[in-house]
């Protein structure tokens, strides 16, 4: 689970209380925030996805995918992979997450 800073969470809680006029449990706010969290994954030109083992595969589960919540880390990983294979053509994709914090791959990516 990602660590959430307390200040933005407290501000969000105060805004929700102000808008709704009622108190809200912290757990419900965390669940609401998780719905809008995103992860970055890497995909090459052939449609293969990068796994946690840094292997390009076409079919794998979302739990096996290389994923990070930070775009700069995904870009650094892409640069490191490109340094070892200069013919590599890959992209970093932004994906929303499901309730288990796994990326939801859009149909436009999985169909390609």
What is the pLDDT confidence band of residue 50, given thresholds at 50, 70 and 90?
Answer: very high
- Global confidence as pTM: 0.65
State whether 20 and 72 are in the same domain.
Answer: no
Among the ranges given (45-49, 90-94, 95-99), the one the predictor scored with the smallest mean pLDDT: 95-99
| Domain around 5 | 1-36
Most confident of 23-27, 35-39, 84-88: 84-88
CA distance 71 to 58: 22
State whether 56 and 89 are in the same domain.
Answer: yes
What is the structure's pLDDT at 10? 65
State whether 31 and 44 are in the same domain.
Answer: no
């Amino acid at each position: 689970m990602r660590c959430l800073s307390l200040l933005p969470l407290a501000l969000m809680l105060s805004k929700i209380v102000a808008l709704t006029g009622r108190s809200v449990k912290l757990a419900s706010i965390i669940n609401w925030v998780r719905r809008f969290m995103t992860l970055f994954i890497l995909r090459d030109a052939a449609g293969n996805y990068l796994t946690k083992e840094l292997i390009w595969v076409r079919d794998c589960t979302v739990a096996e995918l290389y994923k990070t919540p930070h775009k700069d880390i995904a870009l650094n990983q892409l640069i490191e992979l490109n340094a070892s294979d200069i013919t590599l053509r890959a992209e970093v994709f932004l994906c929303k997450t499901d309730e288990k914090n796994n990326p939801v791959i859009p149909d436009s990516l999985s169909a390609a």
